[in-house]
């Protein structure tokens, strides 16, 4: 293969501090500093490292209301949700419990044969899934 996974996923948030705490507490993610970003005043970006080679690039834009628009699965446009890979079955179990404790998931584990998964909703309402072989 010519690729080595995903480098980053970018999205807009209303509250990057709250979102950063969630990813740090549930996934042991590393939250970087918030810096000015782009051409517009009031636009910032914060990186949240979620894996060795993968980060979330979280952008805030004053007055942007796109984050308020929530739609059901498969009604979200071309990219519907984010699937995150757990490092091990033990990590999957830890993440599952942390998602339940955070009120972000009911804990249901889906068995897709070659992988198991759990869905969650982050503080901005973005749907995610954690998978393990």
Per-residue pLDDT of 10-36, as tens digits, reads 999 999 999 999 999 999 999 999 999
Per-residue pLDDT of 37-64, as tens digits, reads 988 889 999 999 999 999 999 999 999 8
A 10 A CB-CB count for 130 gives: 23
Q: Does domain 80-133 have CATH number 3.40.920.10?
A: no
Quote the pLDDT of residue 102.
98
Residue 73 has pLDDT above 90, yes or no: no
Contact between 74 and 81 under an 8 Å Cβ cutoff? The reply is no
CATH topology of domain 1-65: 2,3-Dihydroxybiphenyl 1,2-Dioxygenase; domain 1 (3.10.180)
pLDDT higher at 75 or 90: 90
Per-residue pLDDT of 85-126, as tens digits, reads 999 999 999 999 999 999 999 999 999 999 999 999 999 989
Quote the pLDDT of residue 127.
92
Chain centroid offset of residue 52 CA? 15
According to CATH, where is 3.10.180.10 located in the chain?
Answer: 1-65, 80-133
pLDDT band at 67 (very low <50, low <70, confident <90, very high): confident
3-state secondary structure 57-90: EEEEECCCCHHHCCCCCCCCCCCCCEEEECCCHH
Radius of gyration of the chain (CA): 15
A 10 A CB-CB count for 65 gives: 9
Contact between 45 and 32 under an 8 Å Cβ cutoff? The reply is no
The tokens 């009604």 sit on which residue? 75
The whole-model pTM stands at 0.88
The number of C-alpha atoms within 13 Å of 91 and in the hemisphere containing its C-beta is 13
């Amino acid at each position: 293969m010519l690729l080595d996974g995903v480098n980053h996923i970018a999205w807009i948030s209303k509250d990057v501090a709250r979102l950063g705490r969630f990813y740090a507490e549930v996934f042991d993610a590393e939250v970087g500093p918030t810096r000015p970003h782009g051409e517009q005043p009031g636009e910032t970006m914060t990186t949240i490292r979620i894996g060795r080679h993968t980060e979330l690039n979280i952008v805030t834009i004053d007055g942007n209301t796109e984050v308020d628009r929530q739609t059901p699965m498969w009604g979200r446009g071309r990219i519907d949700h984010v699937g995150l890979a757990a490092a091990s079955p033990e990590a999957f179990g830890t993440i599952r419990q942390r998602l339940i404790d955070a009120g972000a998931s009911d804990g249901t584990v889906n068995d897709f044969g070659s992988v198991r998964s759990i869905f969650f909703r982050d503080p901005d309402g973005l749907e995610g899934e954690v998978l393990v072989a």
